Amino acid sequence: MTTVHEPAVTTAADALSVWPASAVEPREGELTVGGVPLAEVADRFGTPVYVIDEDEVRERCRTYRHAFPDAEVLYAAKAFLCRAMIHWVDEEGLGLDVCSAGELELAVTTGFPPERIVLHGNAKSPRDLDTALRLGVGRIVIDSPSEIARLAAAVGPDGHQKVMVRVVPGISAGGHEKIRTGTEDQKFGLSIPDGYAQHAIARILDQPQLELTGLHCHLGSQITSVKPYLAAVRRMVGLMARLHEQHGLVLRELDLGGGHGIAYRPGEPALDLTALARKVRAELTEACTAAGLTVPRLIIEPGRAIAGPAGIALYHVLSVKRTGAHTYVAVDGGMSDNPRPALYGVRYAPRLVGRHSIAAPAPVTVVGRHCEAGDIVAADVELPDDIRPGDLLAVPAAGAYHLSMASGYNLVGRPPVVAVDDGRARLLIRRESLEDIRSRDVGL
C-alpha cells in the first residue's frame, strides 16, 4: 500500500500495479487472482460478478495495524460489507464504523463485538439510535445539535452512552467536489467558526448520561496527500485546547476519519500510508505538547483503502459498435452495479481476460447496458482492436462502493460476490434473482 509514482505503464508488473498482490498472468491472456483463473469464476458464477481477494483484504488490515500500532483502526463498513468481510475484519483486530441500523445489526448478528463499533450518520433515524443503544454500540458520533436531546432521552436518566462530536475542520480535500466533507457549508458535522461545535459540546457536558470521549472529523474521500490530515490535526488540537481552557475538558480520543485514496489506474497516485502514520503521529504530539495537552488516542477509519484494491468486477461483452470516431464496447453490467463513473467521473482500467489477443490496442469506451447516456464503465481506454461479443473484461480496484451503491435500475438484479483465496472460489453473496424482485412487489 505505497504510493505509485510511475508516470506510464512500461512493464507487465506496472499493468498489474492496481490489482491484488496475488494477481498473476500464468499464460498470455489468462489472469488468476487468489490462485483462481478469472475466466473460471465467470464461467462458474456468471457475469456481472464481483470478485474479492480475501488475503488482500486481510493483508491490508494488517498493514494498517502495523502502521498505526497505537491507534484504533475502524473499517468503514459503507465501502463494502457482508458477513465474510465482518469476520475477516474482526479476526484481523480492526473495529467497525457503521452508518445505519442495517450495517450495525448485520455486524452484531455475525458476532462482531458491539463495543468495537462506532455509529455515524448526519441524520440518524430513531431506529438507528434505538438499535445502537439496544445492541450496546461502543460510541455514537453526534452530527447535529438535535441529536443530543434525542439521544439523551433515549438513553434515559440511569443509562450511559459514549459519544463523540463530528467537527468541520474547514479543509477542502478529496478527489471530487461531491466527496469533500471537511469544508464549511455542507451537511456533515458542526462548524468551529460559527460556534456550533462548541455549543453542542457544552450541551453534551450538561447531559450526565452522555460521556464525551473525543472529537471526530472526516475530510472527504480519495485523498492522496498527507498535508490535509496534518492541517486537520492542528485545527482539532486547537479546538481541544480551547475546550480545555473553557471547561477543563480533557478529551482522550481524536478521530481523523478516513478517505485514504487508492490508485484506480496504473500510474495514478495513492496515499502513502507509512508517511501518513509517521507524520500524523509527529504532528499530533507536537501540537499537543505546544498546547499543554495530553496526547489523545488516534482513531482512523479506512474503507476504500482496504476493500477497493481487493475487488474486481467481471463483465461479458455484449456488443461492439463503431460510430463516427468512437468505438463503444457494451457489457452486461453498468451503472446499476457501479454508479461511480456517472456520479464522480471515476476512471478505470479494464483488461481483456480469458483469451490472448495479438491485435494492436485501440481506444474504446466501455459502456453499460442501461438506458442512460451516462452509463459508462470506462471512458477512453485501450483494448485490443479485435474486441468482440463474448469476450470477458475484468475491472480492477472494484472492491469499494460498487455493491454497496448498487441499485435496482432496469430490474437487472445486483451481481453476486465471490471470494477467492488459495486456489478456491466460494460464493459470499448470491445474485439477486427475478424471484427476489417479484417477492418484494406486493401491489397486486
What residues are annotated to the active site?
371
Given a contact cutoff of 8 angstroms between Cβ atoms, the answer to whether 48 and 315 are in contact is yes
CA distance 389 to 378: 17
Q: Give, as one character, the DSSP assignment of residue 157.
A: T
C-alpha cell at 36: 483462481
CA distance 82 to 170: 34
C-alpha cell at 405: 451503491
CA distance 181 to 165: 15
Given a contact cutoff of 8 angstroms between Cβ atoms, the answer to whether 130 and 102 are in contact is no
C-alpha cell at 225: 496527500
C-alpha cell at 155: 438513553
Given a contact cutoff of 8 angstroms between Cβ atoms, the answer to whether 94 and 138 are in contact is no
Given a contact cutoff of 8 angstroms between Cβ atoms, the answer to whether 283 and 56 are in contact is no
**DSSP letters of 7-63?**
SS--SHHHHTTTS-TT-B-SSTT--EETTEEHHHHHHHH-SSEEEEEHHHHHHHHHH
DSSP count for the chain of H helices, then E strands = 13, 20
- Nearest CA to 256 out of 284, 208, 216, 296 is that of 216
- Nearest CA to 49 out of 370, 328, 406 is that of 406
Between the alpha carbon of residue 18 and those of residues 56, 89, 260, 351, 433, the distances in Å are 12, 22, 15, 12, 31
Residue 257 contacts by C-beta under 8 Å, 6 or more apart in sequence?
Answer: 216, 217, 218, 219, 300, 301
CA distance 29 to 20: 17
Given a contact cutoff of 8 angstroms between Cβ atoms, the answer to whether 267 and 243 are in contact is no
